[in-house]
């Protein structure tokens, strides 16, 4: 009973169902003495934490790798370039929104608390220490902000700190989310960083750029950073276990290109082609429907169904109906592992979209054509498993959408498999535009290649896929003014796990009114049900928001991503849709 109870508690906090539930039920697995970015801890089976920096990695690489405890063994995994692991949501997220704070359940001093200054005589200082303010000579026990890359911007300054311990530079250690280092009080504090060097710490004038001095940490083998002199404007070269961060400035944003030229309405026409960044013109804005797309990723489990899907979507607790009077719909990106297929069939029979999220919640890298067979097994394999377990051909034929696990796009091979198996769309490519003052995107087709700088979770496809749709993960803005691609990764109130129902309601409504409704761009509400398990207020706040929008507006529709594409292919004014009972069948 104790093991069963422990597994139940684990399910309440897990974000991804790949964390070996059967092993949990079979034995009490754990990983002792694991070195993490925040110190040495004992991990329970299924725990996920940020990995320590490997040799050659810089302080701004914190969170690029993470550790998973599975069956008593620690596996090191990597996020895509530009993303960092977030221990709160257990996904790879934007760097600005990710935190490596250790969970409170782990018996260790939380990261972000100043480590105790070593006792004993002050023997050695740290010469030529690279800090955010340049090279300095730090005395024993002195702290400083860790260095950042030149193009990372002011936001990242002070998010990590280092200190001198008897001649050795310790750290970097991250401050908890929302806090930065303050050298005047030697602590992480809310608000902007204060990294000014004290008057007795003098900058060192040097023309060389030696590697950042960090405590050696265990990690995957990497190429050592050369210690030869480099110009101060050059970024140090490191070898990453995944795609390397570009070392040159990205090109200026412009239209996606195609071998036959840039995408334009004369060369790209609906219903089979739609340009990246374009707006549908088939209906006047005032009579254009506003779509809300609610989706859930991962396994459909009895707990998730009974506690949330059944009351919210099947029993329709909040009376969610479209302008036609027909019940609102959502989509489920389902993985095979731990899914109860009888419940999937119930959701499908209730009118909701079933889409693919792979068999085992994993994909090969997709950087080599030889990955095709494994990719096929994970993507088409989900359809095969669905048929085997439901014996419902109509359900299986309706699986035409795909979302990559962890939002890790797997390059051309992923899209080769999707198109060859007659999928209609993918929804894995991120788009964070509101943070820099740009509008969210409508879905578009991949007839034209996406510009490299428009793909922020590479590798995106580098060749055309005519007629294949992409529903981008438009960023929604958290209460800290930073974009997040999944709702459960957003900053709401003081903390997404403690935010009130009112704070969640206001978060949804503010994004709706500021970024989507003014131009009738479909609003994404993409999430994992584990968000509700961590904070029930997110569930009630979402229910209130959806109910209010659908009952107070006659042009708001809660539909599936597939239905949005169907509307784009055959655009009708809102008034006509109501009269024709659009989307009721």
For the stretch 477-497, pLDDT in tens is 999 888 888 999 899 998 888
Per-residue 3-state assignment (H helix, E strand, C coil) for 450-464: CCHHHCCCCCCCCCC
According to the model, what pLDDT value does residue 91 have?
76
Structure tokens at 182: 């303050």
Annotate 402-441 with DSSP letters as a single string: E--GGG---HHHHHHHHHHTT--EE---EE--GGGT-PPP
Lowest mean pLDDT of 200-209, 340-349, 389-398, 432-441, name the range.
Answer: 200-209
Closest-CA residue to 448 (of 273, 567, 208, 244): 273
Average pLDDT score over residue span 557-563: 98
Interaxial angle between packed helices 341-349 and 372-390, expressed in degrees from 0 to 180 and rounded to the nearest 10: 80
- How far apart, in whole angstroms, are the C-alpha atoms of residue 262 and residue 448? 8
According to the model, what pLDDT value does residue 246 have?
33
Cβ neighbours for 266, distance < 8 A, ≥ 6 positions apart: none
DSSP label at 355? E
Average pLDDT score over residue span 80-107: 72
For the stretch 170-200, pLDDT in tens is 767 766 655 678 888 777 776 678 888 765 5
According to the model, what pLDDT value does residue 131 have?
86
Lowest mean pLDDT of 147-151, 393-397, 497-501, 556-560, name the range.
Answer: 147-151
- How far apart, in whole angstroms, are the C-alpha atoms of residue 463 and residue 455? 13
According to the model, what pLDDT value does residue 433 have?
67
Whether residue 417 has pLDDT greater than 70: yes
Interaxial angle between packed helices 501-511 and 536-552, expressed in degrees from 0 to 180 and rounded to the nearest 10: 50
For the stretch 313-365, pLDDT in tens is 999 999 999 999 999 999 999 999 999 999 999 999 999 999 999 999 999 99
Give backbone dihedrals phi and psi of 348, rounded to 5 degrees, phi first: -65, -45
Collapsing DSSP to helix, strand or coil, 353 comes out as strand
For the stretch 106-127, pLDDT in tens is 654 333 344 444 444 445 788 8
Closest-CA residue to 433 (of 515, 523, 492, 519): 515
According to the model, what pLDDT value does residue 199 have?
58
For the stretch 231-268, pLDDT in tens is 333 333 333 333 333 333 333 334 444 444 688 878 89
Closest-CA residue to 568 (of 211, 278, 209, 160): 278
- Positive or negative, the Cα torsion across 138, 143, 146, 147? negative
Mean pLDDT of the chain: 79
Whether residue 412 has pLDDT greater than 90: yes
Whether residue 528 has pLDDT greater than 60: yes
For the stretch 534-554, pLDDT in tens is 999 999 999 999 999 999 999
According to the model, what pLDDT value does residue 112 have?
39
Percent of the chain topping pLDDT 90: 47
How many CA atoms lie less than 13 Å away from 534 in the CB half-sphere? 20
Residue with tokens 């509101």: 434
Whether residue 516 has pLDDT greater than 60: yes
Percent of the chain topping pLDDT 70: 75
Per-residue 3-state assignment (H helix, E strand, C coil) for 197-228: CCCCCCECCCCCCCCCCCCCCCCCCCCCCCCC
CB 522 within 8 A of CB 489: no
* Residue 170 bridge partners (DSSP): 163
- How far apart, in whole angstroms, are the C-alpha atoms of residue 118 and residue 71? 36
Q: Which residues of 118-149 are buried (b: 16+ CB within 10 A; e: fewer)?
A: eeeeeeebbeebbbbbebbebebebbbbbbbe
Q: How far is CA 402 from CA 22, 43, 155, 450, 565, in A?
A: 26, 32, 34, 18, 14
According to the model, what pLDDT value does residue 345 have?
97
- How far apart, in whole angstroms, are the C-alpha atoms of residue 5 and residue 2? 5
Lowest mean pLDDT of 89-93, 475-479, 546-550, 572-576, name the range.
Answer: 89-93
Whether residue 226 has pLDDT greater than 70: no
According to the model, what pLDDT value does residue 29 have?
59
CB 65 within 8 A of CB 79: yes
Cβ neighbours for 585, distance < 8 A, ≥ 6 positions apart: none
Cβ neighbours for 144, distance < 8 A, ≥ 6 positions apart: 129, 131, 132, 133, 136, 138, 161, 162, 163, 183, 195, 197, 201
According to the model, what pLDDT value does residue 120 have?
44
Structure tokens at 175: 């401050």
Dihedral class, residue 495 (left if φ above 0, else alpha if ψ from -120 to 50, else beta): beta
Model's pTM, two decimal places?
A: 0.61
Collapsing DSSP to helix, strand or coil, 12 comes out as helix
Per-residue 3-state assignment (H helix, E strand, C coil) for 283-330: CCHHHCCEEEEEEEECCCCHHHHHHHHHHHHHCCCCCCECCCCCECCC
Q: Which among 127-136, 239-248, 405-414 has the top mean pLDDT?
A: 405-414
Interaxial angle between packed helices 372-390 and 411-420, expressed in degrees from 0 to 180 and rounded to the nearest 10: 40
Collapsing DSSP to helix, strand or coil, 565 comes out as helix
According to the model, what pLDDT value does residue 154 have?
59
Whether residue 105 has pLDDT greater than 70: no
Average pLDDT score over residue span 83-94: 77
- How far apart, in whole angstroms, are the C-alpha atoms of residue 1 and residue 385? 32
Strands 444-446 and 465-470: antiparallel
Cβ neighbours for 520, distance < 8 A, ≥ 6 positions apart: 285, 288, 289, 290
Per-residue pLDDT band for 82 (boundaries 50, 70, 90) equals: low
In what helix (H) or strand (E) does residue 465 lie, and over which residues does it extend? Answer: strand 465-470
Average pLDDT score over residue span 114-141: 69
């Amino acid at each position: 009973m104790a093991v069963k109870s422990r597994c139940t508690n684990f399910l309440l906090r897990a974000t991804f169902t790949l964390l070996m539930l059967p092993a949990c039920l079979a034995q009490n697995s754990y990983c002792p003495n694991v070195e993490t970015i925040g110190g040495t801890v004992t991990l329970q089976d299924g725990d996920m934490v940020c990995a320590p920096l490997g040799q050659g990695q810089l302080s701004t690489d914190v969170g690029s790798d993470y550790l998973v405890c599975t069956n008593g063994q620690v596996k090191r995994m990597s996020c895509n370039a530009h993303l960092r692991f977030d221990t709160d949501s257990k996904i790879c997220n934007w760097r600005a929104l990710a935190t490596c704070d250790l969970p409170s359940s782990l018996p260790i001093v939380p990261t972000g608390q100043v480590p105790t200054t070593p006792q004993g005589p002050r023997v050695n200082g740290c010469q030529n220490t690279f800090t955010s303010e340049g090279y300095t000579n730090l005395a024993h026990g002195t702290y400083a902000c860790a260095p950042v890359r030149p193009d990372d911007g002011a936001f990242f300054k002070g998010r990590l700190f280092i200190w001198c311990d008897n001649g050795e530079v310790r750290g970097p250690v991250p401050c908890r989310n929302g806090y930065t280092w303050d050298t005047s009080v030697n602590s992480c504090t809310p608000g902007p960083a204060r990294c000014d060097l004290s008057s007795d710490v003098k900058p060192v004038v040097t023309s060389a750029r030696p590697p950042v001095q960090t405590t050696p940490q265990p990690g995957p083998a990497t190429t050592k950073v050369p210690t030869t002199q480099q110009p101060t404007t050059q970024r140090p070269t490191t070898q990453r276990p995944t795609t390397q961060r570009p070392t040159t400035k990205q090109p200026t944003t412009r239209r996606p290109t195609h071998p036959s030229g840039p995408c334009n309405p004369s060369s790209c026409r609906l219903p089979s082609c739609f340009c990246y960044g374009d707006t549908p013109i088939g209906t006047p804005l005032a009579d254009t429907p506003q779509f809300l797309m609610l989706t859930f990723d991962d396994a459909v489990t009895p707990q998730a169904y009974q506690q949330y899907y059944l009351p919210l979507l099947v029993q329709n607790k909040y009376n969610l109906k479209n302008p036609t009077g027909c019940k609102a719909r959502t989509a489920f990106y389902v993985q095979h592992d731990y899914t109860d297929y009888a419940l999937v069939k119930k959701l499908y029979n209730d009118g909701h979209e079933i889409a693919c999220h792979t068999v085992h919640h994993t994909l090969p890298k997709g950087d080599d054509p030889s990955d095709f067979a494994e990719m096929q097994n994970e993507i088409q394999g989900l359809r095969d498993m669905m048929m085997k377990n439901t014996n419902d051909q109509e359900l299986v034929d309706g699986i035409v959408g795909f979302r990559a696990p962890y939002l890790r796009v797997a390059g051309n091979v992923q899209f080769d498999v999707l198109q060859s198996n007659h999928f209609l769309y993918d929804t894995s490519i991120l788009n964070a535009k509101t943070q820099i003052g740009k509008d969210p995107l409508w879905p578009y087709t991949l007839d034209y290649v996406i510009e490299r700088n428009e793909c922020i979770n590479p590798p995106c496809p580098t060749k055309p896929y005519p007629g294949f749709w992409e529903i981008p993960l438009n960023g929604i803005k958290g209460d800290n003014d930073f974009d997040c691609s999944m709702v459960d990764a957003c900053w709401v109130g003081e903390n997404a796990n403690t935010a009130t129902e009112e704070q969640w309601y206001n978060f949804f409504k503010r994004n709706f009114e500021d970024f989507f409704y003014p131009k009738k761009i479909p609003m994404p509400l993409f999430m994992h049900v584990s968000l509700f398990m961590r904070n029930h207020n997110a569930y009630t706040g979402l229910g209130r928001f959806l109910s209010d929008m659908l009952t107070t507006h006659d042009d708001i529709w809660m539909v599936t991503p597939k239905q949005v594409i169907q509307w784009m292919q055959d655009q009708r004014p809102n008034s006509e849709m109501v009269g024709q009972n659009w989307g009721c069948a």
